């Protein structure tokens, strides 16, 4: 069941009605939310639901095993290493086994060694990358020594809810354990908070995904990646730029939607995007794009490698490793590896330039250079294979093509996008304030009108979210 399906809308109406009725009985409400989360996951796969349940029970037990009332000891560090390694096992086996097997076969073939790992037909559980990373934040949090007031005792059911929490289960944002459990034991959980903001996020998220992202995909993106050899420079450039917008509207729309739903549950889910295409360099881009992932990579990979505390050269090596792993996190494909590698090299070059001041650009030129680089690297991210990516880039040399009405609409959309991006905070505040002042038939009529506009302008089917496959 998708968040943008009619079935989900009907189920959500019934779910929230019962959920809010149970506010006076928090344990029952928590159990209801937990069972609903597993039930929602079961609409995708009952087999995966049992896998998630078993995995969550393991994470709870592992957390109990490693935590101690005193400061971290060598024994506890060993326990943490073991539990994190085992917790990553499901992700590595299901998502990367075939990639590792193929790479090993190629290496052995070059060495003239005839050995191959066995072929395994494995299915990847939905949302595995996200609930695995959340599990890691839980284990590290349990290992850290904090006063009881900052780290309340966690029950088994709490961990089951945390890893199956349905707003963030399939595609994030990555909800860190400390933030989740702090809210779980807070006063506002169980009742809707910031309702006007929740409505704004849900409607804006739906419009971004269902209307804009889908229009870009159908009219510009899908064709050039399905048949790159038949394209020309006009189609390729517009398709590359359209995907740059599409992936933002798709994933930002998803993040806004689930953040709004989280507010209706009484949880403040972390903001995942802060106008990333206004970034003046790649470092700034990664502070704005998929923030929950980029901060996770920073805190759990970059910092443990040494961060920036071991000299400039070692810092760049740490950055490169972190970016490559960020690319591989998205999928077991050479294209994702290259995408991460390119971003790693790009960040390093930017750091070298900042350190030695080789080139000084104005803010406008820096933004243009950054967005062009990001647009080019998205080609590898979107392509199913390296051959497809290279074919798309090669077609840029085919100097021909026809400019159509859709290309004009794409230019207009781009102009509106950057105009509103610069003013997004002000627009959000004004619309939320208007909603607060117009509770009643005006707000209801506005919501109804926007929903009908989304339904009318959207596709006939239910488009999938891009990040569901990660």
Is 343 annotated as catalytic? no
- Output the six-digit token pair for 262: 């989280």
All residues at 6 or more sequence positions from 280 whose CB lies less than 8 Å from its CB, including other chains: 363, 366, 367, 370
Which of the residues 290, 330, 343, 407 is marked catalytic?
330
Joined together, the tokens standing for residue 390 give: 């290279």
CA 297 to chain centre: 13
Q: How far is CA 15 from CA 4, 199, 254, 352, in A?
A: 16, 17, 20, 53
CA–CA separation, 11 vs 37, rounded Å? 12
Question: Cα separation of 294 and 432, whole Å?
Answer: 29
Phi, psi of 63, rounded to the nearest 5 degrees: -65, -40
CB 300: neighbour CB atoms within 10 A?
15
Is residue 29 within 8 Å of 188, Cβ to Cβ?
no
Q: What values do phi and psi take at 104, rounded to 5?
A: -65, -40
Q: How far is CA 313 from the centre of its chain?
A: 30
Q: What angle do CA 276, 464, 416 make, to 5 degrees?
A: 40
Alpha-carbon gap, residue 23 to 392, rounded angstroms: 54
Sign of CA dihedral 431, 433, 438, 440: positive
Q: Are 162 and 138 in contact (CB under 8 A)?
A: yes
Place of tokens 């326990």: 79
Provide the 10 A C-beta neighbour count for residue 312: 10
Q: What CA–CA distance (Å, rounded) separates 398 from 439? A: 56
What angle do the packed helices 334-356 and 363-382 form, to 10 degrees?
Answer: 160
Q: How far apart are CA 325 and CA 327, in angstroms?
A: 5
From 134, 209, 182, 275, select the one nearest 454 (Cα to Cα): 209
Q: Which amino acids are annotated catalytic? A: 330
């Amino acid at each position: 069941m998708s968040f943008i399906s009619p079935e989900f809308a009907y189920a959500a109406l019934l779910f929230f009605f019962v959920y809010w009725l149970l506010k006076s009985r928090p344990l029952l409400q928590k159990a209801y939310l937990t069972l609903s989360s597993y039930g929602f996951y079961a609409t995708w796969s009952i087999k995966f639901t049992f896998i998630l349940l078993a995995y969550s029970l393991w994470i709870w037990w592992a957390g109990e095993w490693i935590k101690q009332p005193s400061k971290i000891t060598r024994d506890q560090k060993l326990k943490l290493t073991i539990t994190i390694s085992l917790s990553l096992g499901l992700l590595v086996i299901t998502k990367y086994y075939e990639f590792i097997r193929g790479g090993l076969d190629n290496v052995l073939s070059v060495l003239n060694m005839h050995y191959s790992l066995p072929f395994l037909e494995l299915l990847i559980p939905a949302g595995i990358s996200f609930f695995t990373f959340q599990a890691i934040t839980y284990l590290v949090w349990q290992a850290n020594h904090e006063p009881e007031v900052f780290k309340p005792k966690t029950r088994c059911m709490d961990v089951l809810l945390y890893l199956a929490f349905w707003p963030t289960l399939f595609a994030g944002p990555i909800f860190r354990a400390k933030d989740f459990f702090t809210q779980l034991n807070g006063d506002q959980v169980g009742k809707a908070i910031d309702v006007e903001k929740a409505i704004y996020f849900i409607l804006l998220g739906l419009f971004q995904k269902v209307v804009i992202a889908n229009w870009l995909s159908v009219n510009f993106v899908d064709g050039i990646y399905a048949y790159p050899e038949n394209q020309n420079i006009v189609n390729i450039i517009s398709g590359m730029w359209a995907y740059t917008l599409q992936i933002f509207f798709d994933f930002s729309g998803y993040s806004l939607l689930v953040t709004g739903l989280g507010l209706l549950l009484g949880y403040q889910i972390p903001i995942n995007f802060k106008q990333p295409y206004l970034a003046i360099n790649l470092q700034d881009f990664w502070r704005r794009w998929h923030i929950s992932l980029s901060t996770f990579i920073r805190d759990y990979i970059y910092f443990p490698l040494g961060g920036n505390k071991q000299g400039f050269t070692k810092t760049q090596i740490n950055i490169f490793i972190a970016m490559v792993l960020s690319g591989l996190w998205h999928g077991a494909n050479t294209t994702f590896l290259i995408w991460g590698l390119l971003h790693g090299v790009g960040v390093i070059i930017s750091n070298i330039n900042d350190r030695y001041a080789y080139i000084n650009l104005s803010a406008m030129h820096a933004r243009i250079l950054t967005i062009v680089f990001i647009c080019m690297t998205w080609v590898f991210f979107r392509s199913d294979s390296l051959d497809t990516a290279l074919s798309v880039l090669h077609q840029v040399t085919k100097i021909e093509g026809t400019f159509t009405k859709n290309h004009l609409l794409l230019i207009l959309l781009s102009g509106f996008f950057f105009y509103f991006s610069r003013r997004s905070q002000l627009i959000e505040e004004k619309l939320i304030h208007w909603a607060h002042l117009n509770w009643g038939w005006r707000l209801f009529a506005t919501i109804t009108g926007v929903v009908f506009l989304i339904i009318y302008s959207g596709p006939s089917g239910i488009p999938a979210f891009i990040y569901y496959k990660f």
